[in-house]
């Protein structure tokens, strides 16, 4: 997080990250929740709810630019999140921009009390997995990873990697996201990737400080790291984290794992279903 005056300033930094990560032949890049918050500085004289609605006016243009970057750098981009207006309702959404030029939208299902109070956000309704050219993935925005039902629904749909863009201002909030993300990896026998912002924004109300440590987490079994940590960034420091994951290890885990959290569920006693 740093001061940006225009959308071009933001995407100069965005393209730097995309370019750097694509040099490592990466299949995915994950950006944080509300990564474009610095642009709210020019609306700081307005009330918080109005300022974020002004920020939402950039969203369509940002989606177009991300699609172009995904094609030109041959990488699948998960855009973190940004506000989106639909009529009078405001949502927290992001986009999976595939390198073939297609895109899909994901939504934050559970908005935090602060998002409701300060910005008047509404919760989304779409819970789904996404097919890509190298994995079936799920995407949950921040607070949503603290609800295990969502990830279990996605696991039942065949999800292999869960991506979690987040934004937290305190270590307490970060710990909630991180610990829950690690739990989701174990419960659902999948990889979980989290990415958050660091730095301060002195001229943006309700978004002035950030705390994060991005990471890639795994199940805890013999084929994986003993502590379930595949890779971690330096705490609260800007950096790029590049990590390899082997999807074949998940197939072995499902069949031969010391414990099999998906297969061993007592479906004769309980079940989880998605309401239509």
CATH code of 174's domain? 3.60.110.10
**pLDDT score of 68:** 98
Mean pLDDT of 193-205: 93
In a domain, 240, yes or no: yes
| Mean pLDDT taken over the chain | 96
What is the pLDDT, as a whole number, of residue 272? 94
Q: What pLDDT digit, counting tens, does each position of 59-81 carry? A: 999 999 999 999 999 999 999 99
User: Considering the domain boundaries, does residue 265 fall inside one?
Assistant: no
Kindly state the tokens that stand for 89. Answer: 């309702």
Per 3-state DSSP, what percentage of the chain is helix, strand, and coil (rounded to 5)? Answer: 35, 20, 45
Give percent of the chain above pLDDT 70.
100
Q: E strands of the chain, at which residues?
A: 28-30, 76-78, 82-86, 89-97, 103-107, 130-131, 136-139, 161-166, 191-196, 199-200, 209-210, 215-217, 229-232
Q: For residue 276, what pLDDT is reported?
A: 76
What pLDDT, on a 0 to 100 scale, did the predictor assign at position 197?
Answer: 96
Per-residue model confidence as pLDDT tens digits over 93-110: 999 999 999 999 999 999
Structural domain boundaries, residue 220? 7-256
CA-to-CA distance for 201 and 205, rounded, in angstroms? 8
How sure is the predictor about 232, in pLDDT bands with cuts at 50, 70 and 90?
very high
Average pLDDT for residues 236-245, to the nearest whole number? 96
The closest of 94, 95, 96, 122 to 109, measured between CA atoms, is 122
Cβ atoms of 220 and 228 closer than 8 Å? yes
Counting the structural domains of the chain, the total is 1
- Strand pairing of 76-78 and 89-97? antiparallel
Segment 168-190, tens digit of pLDDT: 999 999 999 999 999 999 999 99
269 located within any domain: no
> Is 262 domain-assigned?
no
* Separation of alpha carbons 155 and 264, rounded Å: 14
In angstroms, how far is CA 216 from the centroid of its own chain?
12
What is the Cα–Cα distance from 94 to 141, expressed in whole angstroms?
8
Residue (of 21, 55, 61, 49) closest to 35 by Cα position: 55
pLDDT given at position 203: 86
In order of 7, 212, 241, the CA distances from 238 in angstroms are 20, 9, 10
Residue 257 has pLDDT above 90, yes or no: yes
Query: Which residues carry out catalysis?
Result: 33, 108, 142
Tell whether 125 is covered by a domain: yes
Place of tokens 């990889």: 191
Task: Look at residue 78 and tell me if it is in a domain.
Answer: yes
232 DSSP β-pair partners: 215
Q: Is residue 85 part of a domain?
A: yes
Query: What was the pLDDT predicted at 208?
Result: 83
Tell me whether residue 271 is in a domain.
Answer: no
Count of positions (residues) in the chain: 276
pLDDT in tens, 133-179: 999 999 999 999 999 999 999 999 999 999 999 999 999 999 999 99
């Amino acid at each position: 997080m740093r001061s940006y005056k225009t959308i071009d300033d933001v995407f100069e930094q965005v393209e730097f990250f995309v370019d750097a990560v694509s040099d490592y032949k990466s299949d995915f890049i994950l950006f944080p929740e509300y990564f474009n918050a610095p642009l709210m500085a020019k609306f700081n004289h307005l009330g918080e709810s109005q300022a974020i609605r002004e920020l939402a006016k950039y969203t369509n243009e940002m989606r177009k630019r991300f699609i172009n970057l995904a094609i030109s750098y041959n990488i699948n981009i998960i855009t973190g999140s940004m506000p989106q207006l639909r009529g009078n309702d405001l949502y927290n959404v992001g986009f999976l921009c595939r390198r073939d030029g297609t895109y899909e939208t994901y939504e934050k299902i559970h908005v935090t009390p602060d998002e409701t109070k300060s910005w008047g956000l509404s919760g989304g309704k779409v819970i789904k997995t996404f097919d890509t050219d190298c994995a079936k993935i799920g995407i949950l925005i921040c607070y949503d990873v603290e609800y295990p039902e969502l990830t279990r629904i996605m696991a039942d749909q065949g999800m292999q990697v869960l991506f979690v863009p987040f934004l937290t201002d305190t270590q307490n909030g970060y710990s909630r996201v991180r610990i829950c993300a690690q739990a989701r990896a174990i419960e659902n026998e999948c990889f979980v990737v989290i990415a958050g912002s660091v730095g301060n924004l002195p001229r943006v109300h309700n978004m002035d400080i950030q705390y994060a440590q991005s990471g890639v987490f795994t199940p805890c079994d013999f084929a994986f790291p003993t502590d379930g940590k595949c890779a971690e960034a330096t705490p609260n420091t800007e950096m790029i984290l590049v990590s390899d994951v082997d999807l074949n290890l998940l197939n072995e885990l499902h069949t031969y794992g010391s414990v099999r959290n998906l297969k061993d569920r007592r479906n004769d006693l309980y079940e989880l279903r998605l309401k239509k």
